[in-house]
A and B are shown apart, each in its own frame.
Chain A
Amino acid sequence: MKRQYHYGRTVLGASLLGLLVGVVYGNPALAHKAKHTPEQLKAFEQVFMEQVKVGDLLFHGDEATQKRLGVTLSNTGMACAMCHPFASDTHPYTFPKFQEQVNKFSTLRDMINWCIEKPAEGERIEDDSDAMKALEAYIYWSTRGSRLEPGRH
């Protein structure tokens, strides 16, 4: 009887451990609890930098990238970088804020679309589109290290 009890406890402990391992590694919702491996970190960075590069090309008016993503950011021959070399004067760290041109409390995405539609006379892009995410990635990457100051004019 005593031996059976010990056996049962071992089985229970093993089951709980298995469950814990299963939850941590099998459930995406809790996956971040795991320690990142160098390989994972490299992969995350790679995904980000791939988007930065796509954004860089879009920002500089690359036609092939615009075609691939199905967007027209300008109809005047202007590109974002012509007024914003190295994404200067985009100030992504100041959003959200009241933006005079848009005349409302705006996100960076609102401002990106305003620039596309007004100065560049291009066609508005969806907020959750690949092109918007890539443009955001490039702008944030280019100005990283600047101090976060949301709301600053």
Chain B
Amino acid sequence: MDHTLKQPGERPDTSMEITRRVFIHKSLLAGAAAGAASAGWLPWMNTLDLAFGAEAFKFAWISDSHLYPKTVNTRFVDKVTRAVKDLQTMSPPADFLIYGGDLAQLGDPVELELGADILKEITIKKVFIPGEHDWYLDMGARWQQLFGKPTWTFDHKGVRFIGLDTVSRGPDYWTAKRMTPKERMGHMATLDGSVAGAWAGVGRDQLEWLARTLSDWPKNKPVVIFSHNPLYEYYPPWNFWVRDWREVHEVLRPYTNVTNIHGHTHQVLYNEIGKVRSIGMLATSWTWPYAPEGVPALTRCKVRVDPGDPFDGVGWSKLTMSAAEKIENEYVMWRKDILGEAPWDSGCADNNNQILSPRIADREWPYYGAYK
């Protein structure tokens, strides 16, 4: 797909600058994996600077908090609360916050309302896209009451921002089986489950909306697309992928300065397809291991995480447009190390000897394999 979309000599916008730089911000080691092998850049670079030719500003990303009611578990509450407090100390403040989905764990109104309550502390503009955990108990009813439409766009200081809903168009696997809403949600929330099929997608109507939304936007002006799931094919067995991601890239093809910022994977990820950059964000709840195959080659893997430390391997992101009109993506992780410096500290190093099989319990479902 990258080969198809990227014509000879092409790569993401030439105004983008990538520097090899590890910068210490307070006590945090921060950085986004970046690079492009075709242009001679090195894939282990740490920060991503994008020259947008726009006015300087900052925005922030928080996602994947997976809140349970406080009676079940307060550890996830503690972490998103800490992210909110961190964000409040930003100076100068961020222009807006994007919450990137999976605020709730099981779509329970109690969980969604708890999340809304925690995020209420943030006084700057907030925009939201849904995650699958927010949606499948009541098919997004409570989420939309609290946070509005799942698809939207706005222009800010020379950048067009677009929020895509990649979660609500899953195949109907529940009606034939007469599942209760809880059962439907349970399958959707099982991250390595297969009953729900390949549920992540954008859908024809949203693709057409995206094309219309971009039709009046100059081809060389910056576009930032927020999506819960990554807009490329990364390990389908774990439902990371958006099944119509190719069509999304076809719509984006004429635009030279596109950045996709996504959640869902709970990992540091960096990818380039054609002229589109994709950056994966950290979760506040818990970290996910890298898949045994298909991790984008340009990713610099995050450090192996201590499972006994709930604050390790998780966090949020600051995206800063500097005075030099460049955006820096800064992973704000609450533990010092974010990127593995040696193979034995890298979250990808274990993939070399890891052969995995999909779970067996799903195979007894009478419709197993019907929703691919």
- Residues of A whose CB lies within 8 Å of any CB of B are 49, 52-53, 56-57, 60, 62, 76-78, 81-89, 91, 93, 101, 115, 118-119, 138, 141-147, 149, 152-153
Q: Are B288 and A142 in contact (CB under 8 A)?
A: no
Q: Are A85 and B355 in contact (CB under 8 A)?
A: no
In the complex, B73 has a CB within 8 A of chain A? yes
Q: Which residue of B lies closest to A54 (CB)?
A: B361
23 A–B contact pairs at CB < 8 A?
A52-B360, A53-B360, A53-B361, A56-B361, A60-B193, A77-B68, A77-B72, A81-B191, A81-B359, A83-B287, A85-B191, A85-B288, A86-B192, A86-B356, A86-B358, A88-B291, A88-B292, A89-B289, A91-B350, A118-B307, A145-B355, A146-B354, A147-B353
Q: Are B357 and A89 in contact (CB under 8 A)?
A: no
- B-chain residues with CB within 8 Å of residue A93 when the two chains form the complex: 353
- A-chain residues with CB within 8 Å of residue B193 when the two chains form the complex: 60
Q: Which residue of B lies closest to A85 (CB)?
A: B192
Secondary structure at chain B's binding surface: helix, strand, loop or mixed? loop
Q: Are B72 and A76 in contact (CB under 8 A)?
A: yes
- B-chain residues with CB within 8 Å of residue A144 when the two chains form the complex: 355, 357
Known: A77-B72, A86-B192, A91-B354. 12 other contacts (CB 8 A): A49-B360, A57-B361, A60-B361, A83-B287, A83-B307, A85-B289, A88-B291, A88-B292, A118-B307, A119-B308, A141-B360, A145-B355
Contacts across chains A and B counted by CB atoms under 8 Å: 90
Q: How far is the CA of A87 from the CA of B237 in the complex (A)?
A: 13
Per-residue CB contact flags for chain B residues 279-303 toward chain A (1 = under 8 Å, else 0) read: 0000000111101100000000000
Q: How far is the CA of A88 from the CA of B292 in the complex (A)?
A: 8
Q: Are A84 and B289 in contact (CB under 8 A)?
A: yes
In the complex, B344 has a CB within 8 A of chain A? yes
Q: How far is the CA of A147 from the CA of B287 in the complex (A)?
A: 25
* B residues 122-140 touching A (CB-CB < 8 Å): none
User: Given A83-B288, A83-B307, A85-B238, are A76 and B73 neighbors across the interface (CB < 8 Å)?
Assistant: yes
Q: Are B359 and A56 in contact (CB under 8 A)?
A: yes
- A-chain residues with CB within 8 Å of residue B307 when the two chains form the complex: 83, 101, 115, 118-119
- Residues of B whose CB lies within 8 Å of any CB of A are 68, 72-73, 75, 105, 190-193, 237-238, 286-289, 291-292, 306-308, 310, 344, 350, 353-361, 364
Pairs of residues from A and B, 8 with the lowest C-beta to C-beta distance, nearest first: A85-B192, A145-B355, A89-B289, A86-B356, A56-B361, A76-B73, A77-B72, A77-B68
- B-chain residues with CB within 8 Å of residue A142 when the two chains form the complex: 356-357, 359
User: Given A60-B361, A85-B192, A86-B237, are A143 and B289 neighbors across the interface (CB < 8 Å)?
Assistant: no
User: Given A82-B286, A118-B307, are A143 and B359 neighbors across the interface (CB < 8 Å)?
Assistant: no
- B-chain residues with CB within 8 Å of residue A56 when the two chains form the complex: 359-361
Smallest Cβ distance from A152 to chain B, in angstroms? 8
Q: Which of A57, A87, A147 contacts B356 (CB 8 A)?
A: A87
- A-chain residues with CB within 8 Å of residue B68 when the two chains form the complex: 76-77
Smallest Cβ distance from B280 to chain A, in angstroms? 16
Q: Are B73 and A78 in contact (CB under 8 A)?
A: yes
Q: How far is the CA of A86 from the CA of B361 in the complex (A)?
A: 11
- A-chain residues with CB within 8 Å of residue B72 when the two chains form the complex: 76-77
Q: How far is the CA of A53 from the CA of B307 in the complex (A)?
A: 25
Q: Which of B73, B344, B361 contacts A77 (CB 8 A)?
A: B73
User: Given A77-B105, A115-B307, are A88 and B354 neighbors across the interface (CB < 8 Å)?
Assistant: yes
Q: Are A86 and B357 in contact (CB under 8 A)?
A: yes
Q: Which residue of A lies closest to B75 (CB)?
A: A76
- A-chain residues with CB within 8 Å of residue B73 when the two chains form the complex: 76-78
Q: How far is the CA of A120 from the CA of B27 in the complex (A)?
A: 29
- B-chain residues with CB within 8 Å of residue A87 when the two chains form the complex: 356
Q: Are B344 and A88 in contact (CB under 8 A)?
A: no
Q: Are B350 and A86 in contact (CB under 8 A)?
A: no
Q: Are B355 and A146 in contact (CB under 8 A)?
A: yes
Q: Which residue of B lies closest to A101 (CB)?
A: B308
Smallest Cβ distance from B211 to chain A, in angstroms? 34
- A-chain residues with CB within 8 Å of residue B350 when the two chains form the complex: 89, 91
Chain B CB count within 10 A is highest, among A49, A76, A101, A144, for A76
Q: Which residue of B lies closest to A56 (CB)?
A: B361
- B-chain residues with CB within 8 Å of residue A83 when the two chains form the complex: 286-289, 307
